[in-house]
Chain A
Amino acid sequence: DTGVSQNPRHKITKRGQNVTFRCDPISEHNRLYWYRQTLGQGPEFLTYFQNEAQLEKSRLLSDRFSAERPKGSFSTLEIQRTEQGDSAMYLCASSLEGGAGSEQFFGPGTRLTVL
């Protein structure tokens, strides 16, 4: 396995359009996380899945954002009616269920630019 993959790597869209990103975690990992990173800041948590269940959502995740993980494998993050403030790097991470020190493995991210 080559690690967490994300597609597309870059996305440029116009304000008001919908966009969807995909994350493929490491195959045996049952936990999947989405984070958002803006320039000069650390990643901020958006949402988390254990298998197919979405267990936690940040208040950063407005109702324009929706995430799914059908069958507990890949995940998609959709942003509807994009706004310029949505421009950021969207990171996906996965991990195995385990103790507090369980490592989250990050993908390369999808950079979104909203014009």
Chain B
Amino acid sequence: GNSVTQMEGPVTLSEEAFLTINCTYTATGYPSLFWYVQYPGEGLQLLLKATKADDKGSNKGFEATYRKETTSFHLEKGSVQVSDSAVYFCALRGERANSKLTFGKGITLSVRP
């Protein structure tokens, strides 16, 4: 079945530091890949997505590239802010358009001033 593996957390960074959060996946065919974010006290929100190999999703300064050859979708940001402190989830959806989302465990990011 489908699965998503995220790097272990939590992660603590200073403001303006570079961020990488690793995500790898196992799936047949060509899944769609997503990063969701959960800010404190709020619900899950879509951060970015990519639907085919070599696509780059981007939003709010975050980027992730769909790498079919390494089955990865790592999240990056060049300069994090305190407001980026949240829990980040990598997820995939199978090729069928009505497929469920399969999530990783999530990783907590704390950014200190």
Interface pair B97/A99, CB less than 8 Å apart = yes
| Secondary structure type dominating chain A contacts | loop
Residue positions of A touching B, CB distance < 8 A:
4, 31, 33, 35, 40-45, 48, 50, 55-56, 58, 91, 93, 97-109
Residues of A within 8 A of B4 (CB): 42
Residues of B within 8 A of A102 (CB): 97
Residues of A within 8 A of B95 (CB): 100
A109 and B103 in contact, given A42-B91, A101-B49, A103-B49 (Cβ under 8 angstroms): no
Can you name the residue of chain B whose Cβ is closest to the Cβ of A45? B100
A44 and B103 in contact, given A100-B32, A103-B49, A107-B43 (Cβ under 8 angstroms): yes
Q: How far is the CB of A82 from chain B (nearest CB, A)?
A: 23
Residues of B within 8 A of A44 (CB): 103
Interface pair B93/A43, CB less than 8 Å apart = no
Residues of B within 8 A of A56 (CB): 98, 100
Interface pair A50/B98, CB less than 8 Å apart = yes
